[in-house]
Amino acid sequence: MLVLGVESSCDDTAAAVLADGRKIVANIVSSQDAVHSPYGGVVPELASRQHIRNILPIIDAALKQAGAGVGDLGGIAVTRGPGLVGSLLVGLSVVKGISYRWRVPYVGVNHLEAHLLAIFLHREIEFPYLALLASGGHTLLYVVRDFGDYRYLGGTRDDAAGEAYDKVAKMMGLGYPGGRVIDELSKSANPKAIRFPRARMKKGAHEFSFSGLKTAVWHYLKEQGGSAAPTAEVAASFQEAVVDMLVAPTMRAAVELDVKRIVLAGGVAANSRLRKKMTAAAASEGLELHVPPPALCTDNGAMIALAGYHMLRRGLRDDLYLNADADLTL
């Protein structure tokens, strides 16, 4: 069965075609980075307008790449939340229109669920697994027990990990999105050059916190002024603190809950230092670690099609009354 997946929850317009819930036959992501970069963050109104411009050409291009027509689809999956409501409504409205006109069933997908399952686009793994979902909007830990069966463990008390990357990059004048830039810049620098503080959370709480670190970088830059360490050293030292604060609670949760497999998901899972340190930490505890390739960690339509495929298989269908939900939880 072919499923079209459509994603427009934030600043990427994406569409993909997935065969039988596993094989990507088309995957197109149109980034809006150039539009938002001058502002150091996503401007919601500009994002919605870009989605309106891009969405039909992107869907057409995905179908063309797959060599399929709308009539060949067994279903359509579209992100219905969480995200920016104006952005979400563009994808949802277009999919409702296509579904109604061509009589193809559709389902609204939770963006978080799609990230948690994205590993299956890369390889089949066994349930249960502990998933760390770290993106621009979320930093969450879940135990994934089956398709559609998720146990929430905890999340960030303040900023998301990706948000911290983006805000620190903005402070340092590195543009948006900050994660990839800081990742690249850090490769040439000593991550121990500056010792930024790590937030320590209550034992057993499965929580994260990044706003103190962000403030510490801000104070460091302000106090040091022109004599601050080279940009790459600040970036690498900041990144080291973020990575430590992601690895420690994840490992603690895996050991406490006796889960043998860890999966990384979300845009921050594309980070090379996180992948490296998590690999070492998992190996030292004798745990499996599974990480999708970077392009499947960041937002894409294939993960939406995958989550939607499993919903359609369970007999789920949505109707034209479905609304976008900016604060949708899992």
- List of residues contacting Zn ion (CB under 5 A): 135, 299
183 binds, among ligand KG4, Zn ion, none (CB under 5 to 8 A by kind): ligand KG4
Which residue's CB is nearer to ligand KG4, number 98 or number 217? 217
Which residue's CB is nearer to Zn ion, number 176 or number 196? 176
What residues have CB less than 8 Å from 44, skipping those under 6 apart? 84, 86, 87
27 interacts with ligand KG4 by CB under 6 A: no
Rounded to 5°, the CA angle 239-243-245 comes to: 120
Stretch of 32-40, 120-128, 142-150, 261-269 contacting ligand KG4, by CB under 6 A: 261-269
Distance from chain centroid for Cα 214: 20
Count of alpha carbons within 13 Å of 129, Cβ hemisphere only? 24
180 interacts with ligand KG4 by CB under 6 A: yes
Rounded-to-integer distance, Cα 96 and Cα 317, Å: 12
List the one residue from 240, 244, 299, 318 that touches ligand KG4 (CB under 6 A). Answer: 299
Region of 20 please: left (phi>0), alpha (psi -120 to 50) or beta.
left
Q: Least distance to ligand KG4 from the beta carbon of 219, Å? A: 22
Stretch of 19-27, 198-206, 265-273, 281-289 contacting ligand KG4, by CB under 6 A: 265-273
Per DSSP, the residues of 207-237 read -B--HHHHHHHHHHHHHHGGGSPPHHHHHHH
What residues have CB less than 8 Å from 186, skipping those under 6 apart? 232, 235, 236, 239, 273
Q: Least distance to Zn ion from the beta carbon of 203, Å? A: 30
Window 46-65: residues binding ligand KG4 (CB under 6 A):
none
271 binds, among Zn ion, ligand KG4, none (CB under 5 to 8 A by kind): ligand KG4
Rounded-to-integer distance, Cα 63 and Cα 15, Å: 9
Stretch of 46-54, 55-63, 118-126, 161-169 contacting ligand KG4, by CB under 6 A: 161-169
Q: Least distance to ligand KG4 from the beta carbon of 299, Å? A: 4
Distances (CA, A) of 5 to 24, 104, 191, 324: 11, 13, 39, 16
Q: Least distance to Zn ion from the beta carbon of 36, Å? A: 15
Interface ranges with ligand KG4 (CB under 6 A): 10, 135-137, 162, 165-166, 177-180, 183, 266-268, 270-271, 298-299
